[in-house]
Amino acid sequence: MSALTKTTPSTVSEPLAHSARNGARAQTYHEHIGNARRYAAIFAHDAVAFSPKWGESFLAVVESATTYHDLGKLDEVFQDVLRHNRQTNRGFKHWDAGSAYLLEQKAGEAAAIVFAHHLGLPNYKHQINNDKFRDYSEIQGLRLKQNERTDDLLASYLTQHHALLPTVTVKPCKLDTGLVRRLALSCLVDADHSDTAQHYRNERELRGQPLWADKRLKRLNHYVTGLAPAELLPTEQERLRLSIRQKIYEECRDRKLASHERIVACDSPVGTGKTTAVMAHLLNIAHEHSLRRIFVVLPYTNIIDQSVDVYRRALVLDGESPDEVVAAHHHRVEFKGENWRDLRQLTQRWDAPVVVTTAVQFFETLAAKETTALRKLHQVSGSAIFVDEAHTAMPAPLWPQMWKWLRELCDDWGCHVVLASGSLARFWDVPDFVPPAERPPVMELIPSKLRREAAAVETRRVELKTKPERLSLDELADFVQSKPGPRLVILNTIQSAAILADHLRYGKNLGLNVEHLSTALSPLDRSKAIRRVKENLSSGWKDWVLVATSCVEAGMDFSFRTAFRESCGLANLLQISGRVSRSAEYDTAEVWDFRHDEDGFLTLHPHFKTSRRVLEKMFREGKVGMDHCTEALQREINSGVGETEKLAERICQHEKDADYPEVAKLCRLIVEDAQTILVNQDLVMRFESRNREQFPSGKEVMLNSVQVKQSRLIDLDPKPVGFGCELLALRPEQYDDFLGYMKGILPLLKAQKSGCFIR
């Protein structure tokens, strides 16, 4: 997007939209509404360019809502607050006036968007039956309710507004789905926030690099060609795998699709080059259909750095800035409390041509009600979406509604979706997930003959085994050390991984022969750990171990000799086999399924009880191959006494009823709330300086923070960093680059075990 022409500031005697503060001048109402309208029009037109179905009505709703979203700020009560920069607005709800006017004009959808542009999407059914998108709270000091004040002065607001800005014809239009309403709110919120943040110099002028899909595909072809080994590989097995990788890349890149083939599946085995092959396919489709953006959706934050590194080397054209072409969004940095204005510059926007993000961020945004999350949603229209490691993208009950949204994005908003995994469970073929009448054709990206060839090679690479007896912490450590290295151990909880890593390094005196990797570490420290792991693997050093959580289970370019996976599910076990002898470089390689005794503070993950039982039975039946993933999923559903189906039905029904807060609540991929906690003390000091020129960027905050569950906060007791409870930080003694924030937790756990714990 090219730089936008902003409205010229008017005299300060005019009505204001924002007060003067932090060195920025006051912004007039005329200026802000004019800028917001232009931004919203650009966002909306860019989105509906791919949606003939919604074009006219969508544009009308966004235009009407944006034009009148701040109408109530013209009230003298609010103007007094802005002119004198008062600390309170006396409970005045400035959005009520715009909502009231649009309701008078029979434009209920636009009224709802105005009502929601600070509060978030409400329960539409409740609003329509009771409150009608109005505010009935009392204004402090006036002895009037907000709706009464608005009704008395609405004509006066409109007279002032129309004297400053062009008249807009309000058209009553209907938006029938929650996704369309979220997209419309996204356009308004992004326009409003963008102009405000730029006014206060928190954000740069809006712009974005073009996708230029054809040029990037040529660049990718050149990159992949350069990956070919200079010398003949030593074994027939390695040569065969290389040949299959090359065929898969070519088939994906050149695959032609009919117009109705909007969703495709790719079950290419691990280690066959899906990262580049699927990207080649997406670039080809994007070029054919003039798509504007590519999303790569990954299950774990640590995979992002690896994928981003590949894509930046493979896709960035001469003269481009890599981080503006391929944007890495490790986790949400979205602040919505009373100090949100000070932290708005930390919120991420999906405005790069290639966006690499997490499944949590992508899918929770589709389900969101909060404006900070929805701000970026409009960028998804007209995109190619690669859901990598789709088997682990989200809990099973969420897939039915997410599937509906993906279909709607493809059918009505010009998107194209690839669902990929080396252990892909075809949930769309499971009747409990997707009724037969709602199943669009899901085509295979790779021809069946090549898929069979790849699967045949995969079965000869790694042997899957199980150790059914429960192991103590010490027995588990000895079992791991008894097998040939290098070794990888995956546990189901952050606490268990930290306990075992600590025990191996210090209890077994293995020292630096132990690496640890989990989301207890910041993205920056995870990146450093991943580099050390890759250096160890490439050096030929054998006698060492990596202890990790499932964050390295999928997508990581690691190749160990032996792997150990705490029992979880068949798809998880197959994925970990992809981190073992990836190029068939070992004559014998094993992956062990194991269980621990839940003592020594090794903990069980409650969500895996059913899948563990199913996996145990499938081992007894000899059904632990790629072809059994869908059967395993069906068994897990059948073993759950209906919980999965009931939750899936509840989500779909709440979405149908337009109960958006409940949908957002139920569609949390990570159920327990987590807080963003800074761990870098230099960044903490920069925030505490109160000098806005020194404030860290959103990227710096992402790379140097961790997400800590609320249940852990009481133990860590992080300190506020100058913004109330919105931004917190650990103390230096609570974090290191080996155990992450578990450094602050383990002493408490050990004290509990010894019986001398005092809080």
The model's pLDDT over 490-538, given as tens digits with 9 standing for 90+, comes to 999 999 999 999 999 999 999 999 999 999 999 899 989 999 999 999 9
* Res. 22 pLDDT band, cuts 50 70 90: confident
DSSP 8-class letter at 361: H
Look at residues 347, 343, 350 and name the one whose alpha carbon lies nearest to residue 372.
347
* Res. 1 pLDDT band, cuts 50 70 90: very low
For residue 41, what pLDDT is reported? 97
Pairing of strands 545-548, 705-709: unpaired
Q: How far apart are CA 298 and CA 347, in angstroms?
A: 20
Roughly what angle, to the nearest 10 degrees, separates helices 95-104 and 108-119? 170
Taking residues 294-312, report their average pLDDT: 88
For residue 203, what pLDDT is reported? 65
How many CA atoms lie less than 13 Å away from 640 in the CB half-sphere?
A: 22
For residue 723, what pLDDT is reported? 60
The two tokens of residue 115 are 């009502």
Q: Tokens 């974090």: give the residue.
A: 735
CB 99 within 8 A of CB 72: no
Does the pLDDT at position 78 exceed 90?
A: yes
The two tokens of residue 446 are 């790779």
| Phi, psi torsion values for 95, nearest 5 degrees | -80, -15
The two tokens of residue 77 are 């009560």
Kindly give, in sequence order, each residue whose CB lies less than 8 Å from that of residue 474, ignoring residues fewer than 6 positions away: 503, 507, 600
The two tokens of residue 705 are 């923070």
Kindly give, in sequence order, each residue whose CB lies less than 8 Å from that of residue 652, ignoring residues fewer than 6 positions away: 400, 401, 404
* Res. 11 pLDDT band, cuts 50 70 90: very low
Q: What is the largest CA-CA distance in the chain?
A: 85
Q: How far apart are CA 744 and CA 732, in angstroms?
A: 10
Distance of CA 337 to the CA centre of its chain: 21
* Res. 652 pLDDT band, cuts 50 70 90: very high
Question: Burial level of 427, CB count in 10 A (0-12/13-18/19+)?
Answer: buried
* Res. 331 pLDDT band, cuts 50 70 90: low
* Sign (positive or negative) of CA dihedral 471, 476, 480, 482: negative
Does the pLDDT at position 754 exceed 50?
A: yes
Look at residues 135, 140, 292, 302 and name the one whose alpha carbon lies nearest to residue 216.
292
Amino acid of residue 63: E
For residue 678, what pLDDT is reported? 93
CB 602 within 8 A of CB 500: yes
For residue 241, what pLDDT is reported? 82
Poorest-pLDDT segment among 92-96, 216-220, 561-565, 631-635:
631-635
Q: Is 319 helix (H, G, I), strand (E, B) or coil?
A: coil
What would the pLDDT profile of 600-619 be if each residue is shown by its tens digit? 689 888 778 888 899 999 99
Q: How far apart are CA 342 and CA 360, in angstroms?
A: 25
DSSP 8-class letter at 569: -
Q: Tokens 């682990």: give the residue.
A: 392
Kindly give, in sequence order, each residue whose CB lies less than 8 Å from that of residue 758, ignoring residues fewer than 6 positions away: 751
Q: How many CB atoms lie within 10 A of CB 49?
A: 15
Kindly give, in sequence order, each residue whose CB lies less than 8 Å from that of residue 226, ignoring residues fewer than 6 positions away: none
Does the pLDDT at position 8 exceed 50?
A: no
Q: How far apart are CA 73 and CA 196, in angstroms?
A: 14
Rg (CA), the chain: 27
Does the pLDDT at position 59 exceed 70?
A: yes
Look at residues 543, 558, 559 and name the one whose alpha carbon lies nearest to residue 480.
543
Taking residues 147-170, report their average pLDDT: 95
Taking residues 58-66, report their average pLDDT: 97
Q: How far apart are CA 643 and CA 443, in angstroms?
A: 30
Cis peptide before 486 (omega within 30 of 0): yes
pTM for this prediction: 0.83
Helices (H), 69-145: 76-84, 95-104, 108-119, 124-126
Amino acid of residue 640: G
What would the pLDDT profile of 102-126 be if each residue is shown by its tens digit? 999 999 999 999 999 999 999 998 8
* Res. 204 pLDDT band, cuts 50 70 90: low
pLDDT > 90: what percent of the chain? 59
Does the pLDDT at position 731 exceed 90?
A: yes
How many CA atoms lie less than 13 Å away from 240 in the CB half-sphere?
A: 14
Amino acid of residue 589: A
In 291-445, beta strands by DSSP E: 293-298, 326-329, 354-358, 383-387, 416-420, 442-444
Beta bridge partners of 384: 294, 416
The two tokens of residue 577 are 């086999």
The two tokens of residue 466 are 């199980």
How many CA atoms lie less than 13 Å away from 252 in the CB half-sphere?
A: 30
Poorest-pLDDT segment among 2-11, 85-94, 403-412, 458-467:
2-11
Taking residues 194-222, report their average pLDDT: 86
pLDDT > 70: what percent of the chain? 92
CB 386 within 8 A of CB 356: no
Q: How many CB atoms lie within 10 A of CB 434?
A: 20
Kindly give, in sequence order, each residue whose CB lies less than 8 Å from that of residue 553, ignoring residues fewer than 6 positions away: 300, 392, 490, 565, 572, 575, 576, 579
For residue 479, what pLDDT is reported? 97
Q: How far apart are CA 586 and CA 215, in angstroms?
A: 39
* Res. 130 pLDDT band, cuts 50 70 90: low
For residue 340, what pLDDT is reported? 38
Q: Tokens 């209890």: give the residue.
A: 507
Q: How far apart are CA 608 and CA 614, in angstroms?
A: 10
Look at residues 335, 339, 360 and name the one whose alpha carbon lies nearest to residue 348.
335
Helices (H), 486-591: 494-502, 523-539, 570-577
Q: How far apart are CA 529 and CA 738, in angstroms?
A: 8
Q: Residues 497, 499, 505, 507: what is their CA dihedral angle, to the nearest 10 degrees? A: -150
For residue 164, what pLDDT is reported? 95
Q: How far apart are CA 122 and CA 110, in angstroms?
A: 14
Does the pLDDT at position 306 exceed 90?
A: no
CB 426 within 8 A of CB 630: yes
* Res. 342 pLDDT band, cuts 50 70 90: very low
Angle, CA 737 vertex, CA 736 and CA 739 arms, to 5°: 70
Taking residues 580-592, report their average pLDDT: 87
Between residues 50 and 11, the one the model is more confident about? 50
